[in-house]
Amino acid sequence: MADLQGLTQLFAHEMAARLRSGETTAREIAEAHLARAHATDHGLHAWLTIDDERALAEADAADATLAGARAEGPDALAALHPLHGMPVALKDLVSVKGGQCTAGSRILEGYRAPYDAHITERLRAVGVVILGKTNMDEFAMGSSCEHSAFGPTANPWDLERVPGGSSGGSAASVAAFQTPLSIGTDTGGSIRQPAALCGIVGMKPTYGRVSRYGIVAFASSLDQIGPFARDVRDAAALLHAVSGRDERDSTSAPEPVAEDLVNLPASDDEAASWLRGKRFGVPREYFVEGMEPGVAAAIRTAVADLERAGATVEEVSLPHTDYGLASYYIVAPAEASANLARYDGVRFGHAVTDGADYLADYLVTRGSGFGPEVKRRVMLGTYALSAGYYDAFYLKALKVRTLIKRDFDVLFDAGFDALVGPTSPDVAFRFGAKLADPVKMYLSDACTLPVNMAGLPGISIPCGLSEGLPVGLQLIGPAWSEGVLMRAARAYEGVTASADWRRVRPHDLAKLAGAGLPTPAERIASR
């Protein structure tokens, strides 16, 4: 009988090796993670629903497929996807047929998805086991996971701090060993920033790499689905599983999926050797005013590690970065205003009605169903699109977006393999620290949102600690360079494999298993 508790401490590729060797089963792996999630989530609140019955049924199906492959021979076994039988958590804006899909909002409370999202279909096709749905900022609008209508999520490194957002539940569940893999979405940094704050790996792929079919939309020209994991090899395998063309999504690209995503080097030395002769740029604009000194120091050390491994690193400029935040907060709210117009209390979801006055019912439904951050952005977006302001705000923001994209193109055309810099200017902050100042909260994404505006891929990987909390290193590449970025990130893992900070686990893991631990919302209310 497998050591069920020990299974949750392994990387997905280590669990997969045990699964294929017959040391364990997909059901045992699922049971171990379900048990840990149930036992430790009360004080974390990473999950909105855990679906034991469905997960165990999928695990049994994965075991049956595995048994059939073994009977057919080594070739059939090798043909199975590397993540076959592995658990994954989905952000609660991914449609799973028959399951809830709230997008963290009361206005979708009670809604059951009538179909599977494209990525749900892809995950089922490779035999992944879906454990449940994770907490998030409402409609993915936030940088702290404090804007969920169902209460905030805590950071397992410090339960008094945020995990980042909007994919905070997906990141926290991986960092807390409740699942080895999870799915998030990134509109302005919502995968990379929580990955950095929780000390894990998170990637935002090129826009169009992963189909958005079946994903609740925030800003359609910016949203992109991506993976979370505790190491680069697992993140790459998950990206491989969900990528590919989907005819139901007109923005889904026909670009082939890089097969090297499932063939990253296992050896740290082999991985590190890839860096020799590579050229990286460090944008000076990403070392923003107010950046925590410990974060800046960790990033400088990481850059020195890349140079020590044989890479060339040069300081570069992305001159329109300073306009990124302002232009993003015109484009994204404008698209949100259009996308969220469909939530009217008539067709699905939350509704407040007395049947007498449709307009009054509509206003009350949206007023009570949407939270304050969603209302703020809808009003901003509606204003930017209104008559007399479209040209002055929205159209001008689109022109700035083109300039931001051009800045990146100039550097990649000049021969840089990737750009490196901080993911977040600070480490995980305390609950409530930025709620009173929305602009201060928005600045948390200053280093990530230009990548979304340009439609490029970016990955955040752990690169050390500042005051005992994780710091994330961001790597940015040209369009469709996910394979290169994963190789670069895996190389950095190899270079720093013996670093002391890599052996530090989230400080508050032990607290999560304690009896009587209040929820994050209860702790905040008791202050």
CB atoms within 10 A of CB 110: 12
Q: Is the peptide bond before 166 cis (omega within 30 degrees of 0)?
A: yes
With beta carbons less than 8 A apart as the criterion, state whether 447 and 289 touch: no
User: Which of 173, 190, 243, 327 is the catalytic position?
Assistant: 190
Decide: helix, strand or coil at residue 487: helix
* 366 phi, psi to nearest 5 deg: -70, -35
**Dist CA 145 CA 48 (whole Å):** 13
Task: For residue 190, indicate whether it is catalytic.
Answer: yes
Locus of tokens 């409609």: 139
User: Which of 105, 148, 166, 167 is the catalytic position?
Assistant: 166
Locus of tokens 């019912």: 361
Task: For residue 267, indicate whether it is catalytic.
Answer: no
With beta carbons less than 8 A apart as the criterion, state whether 373 and 139 touch: no
Strand order in the sheet with 418-422: 47-50, 129-134, 87-91, 181-185, 225-229, 201-204, 458-466, 469-476, 418-422, 279-283, 312-316
With beta carbons less than 8 A apart as the criterion, state whether 212 and 95 touch: no
**Dist CA 318 CA 325 (whole Å):** 14
Q: How far is CA 76 from the centre of its chain?
A: 32
**Dist CA 117 CA 221 (whole Å):** 18
Q: Report the amino acid identity of residue 162.
A: V
Q: Report the amino acid identity of residue 307.
A: E
User: Which of 91, 204, 278, 434 is the catalytic position?
Assistant: 91
With beta carbons less than 8 A apart as the criterion, state whether 183 and 242 touch: yes
Residues 6 or more apart whose CB falls under 8 angstroms from that of 490 comprise: 232, 233, 236, 264, 265, 271, 274
Q: Report the candidate in 200, 173, 171 with the shortest Cα–Cα distance to residue 185.
A: 171
Burial class (CB in 10 A: 0-12, 13-18, 19+), 495: buried
Q: Report the candidate in 448, 373, 428 with the shortest Cα–Cα distance to residue 189.
A: 448
The helix, strand and coil proportions of the chain, stated in percent and rounded to the nearest 5, come to: 45, 15, 40
DSSP state string for 340-397: GGG-SSSSSS-----SS-HHHHHHHHHHHHS-HHHHHHHHHHHHHHSTTTIIIIIIHH
Task: For residue 166, indicate whether it is catalytic.
Answer: yes
Active site residues: 91, 166, 190
